[in-house]
Amino acid sequence: MAKGGDGKVVPLARKGGKCPVCQSPSQSAYHPFCSQRCADVDLGRWLKGSYRIPGEPADLADDGIPDDRNDDPDGRE
Ligand SMILES: [Zn+2]
């Protein structure tokens, strides 16, 4: 009696993991993404600042430059 049929393993599941954009299996050519499109999508997110780090201090304008140096440009000593 034959057991197990063909017994071949189809190498569909790569060991790279999932595409972080669409959760499809990642392709080694575009690792860790599944395609060039998803790689571009991820890059675009970075460029647009969608991946901003939470908790980052943003009070740079609170203790910034005093604006009295541009108060009276005509009355300089
Ligand atoms: Zn993808």
Distance 53 CA to ligand 1 centre (A): 23
The 10 Å Cβ neighbour count of residue 20 is 15
Please give the CATH topology (third level) of the domain spanning 15-51.
Erythroid Transcription Factor GATA-1; Chain A (3.30.50)
CA of 45 to the centre of ligand 1 (A): 14
Tell me how far the alpha carbon of residue 2 lies from the centroid of ligand 1, in angstroms. Answer: 40
pLDDT at 14: 47
Distance 76 CA to ligand 1 centre (A): 61
Give Cβ neighbours of residue 21 (< 8 Å, ≥ 6 apart): 33, 34, 38, 41, 42
The 10s digit of each residue's pLDDT in 11-20 is: 554 455 899 9
Averaged over 3-15, what is the pLDDT?
Answer: 59
Cα(15) to centroid(ligand 1), Å? 15
Measured CA to CA in angstroms, residue 22 lies from 7, 38, 42 at distances of 31, 7, 10
Structure confidence by residue, pLDDT tens digits, 26-77: 999 999 999 999 999 999 988 888 656 667 666 655 655 666 666 666 766 6
